[in-house]
Structure 1
């Protein structure tokens, strides 16, 4: 899953697949990316260059309660977009662990 600040989409995709679903209080960006990337056809390009530097933190990992809320919403988005379940959720969360130990 690409980081949301570096995902660039054509306006026509928003017209076709919709915008942020604000029923997701924390994971609206994740749901949108799942929806777009699983339903669109066409090319996807990877740019092997750092375009955005993000700090660790934010609403989704501010507290244990927010982490739990984010995980519930992520799971709901995975199921709604038919791209995974608990295994995908576990992989997504475990893949983020190294960012808490990097220095830079």
Structure 2
């Protein structure tokens, strides 16, 4: 099996059809849907049980937070590559999995493949591209987890999500992957539509503090200051000469 699509949810009946329908529409059927539910009481699991487009592996029980649930999903996954699809997000279009599968056939050594993501805000959409992300820039930037297809065995070599972090364990995990020497590839392809405004956006100060804690595991305070200054210079240069922020080209309506 090529892909394990992992969805972590809790009382998500109002939004889960969005993720489900984007999976049902995929032209590639070489995937399983792994659903880790936090003991919902609103009919979430009925939506999961009605899914028949691909094999389903699911569990519904209390957990210790989103990253604990994501670790459960990794343990349940049987696909070669893992992709995390939030319950209120969607694969960008019906050919995402088919196109990514073809790319992986052409680049079989890739351990981690990451594309572009459309961020959906209430009044607008923003395209985020991640061509500028690599092992040197990631500790000073960010990479949306909904952009990433990860070889499942990476979780054996670099470990699972560190549940000490409540908001940034996925960021910490990605830094570990890039530092490990894993073979990473960016593709110029929109892979997901991400609903902006979740827990990360709701507590921006806590997120910034936690991201700093993550970074200081790998960088000295001086290196962090210098790297952050370089990041700000890059972004200002790009905004001035390209008329849009680095990694955020205009998106058609």
TM-score by length of 2: 0.33
Q: Any conservation in 1 of the 2:168–2:207 contact (CA below 8 Å)?
A: yes
Summarize the alignment of residues 23-34 of structure 1 with structure 2, pairs less than 5 Å apart: 23-34=164-175
The Cα of 1:60 is off from its aligned counterpart by 1.1
- Looking at structure 2, the residues matched to 89 and 27 of structure 1 have their Cα atoms a distance apart, in angstroms, of 18
Q: Higher strand fraction: Structure 1 or Structure 2?
A: 2
- Looking at structure 1, the residues matched to 252 and 196 of structure 2 have their Cα atoms a distance apart, in angstroms, of 11
Which consecutive unaligned segments of at least 5 residues does structure 2 have?
1-141, 236-244
Does 1:56 pair with 2:193? no
In structure 2, the partner of 1:8 is 149
Q: Higher helix fraction: Structure 1 or Structure 2?
A: 1
Greater Rg over alpha carbons, structure: 2
Q: Any conservation in 1 of the 2:143–2:171 contact (CA below 8 Å)?
A: no
Q: Which of 170, 178, 181 is residue 40 of structure 1 equivalent to?
A: 181
Which consecutive unaligned segments of at least 5 residues does structure 1 have?
none
- Looking at structure 1, the residues matched to 201 and 211 of structure 2 have their Cα atoms a distance apart, in angstroms, of 13
RMSD between aligned alpha carbons? 2.7
The Cα of 1:87 is off from its aligned counterpart by 5.4
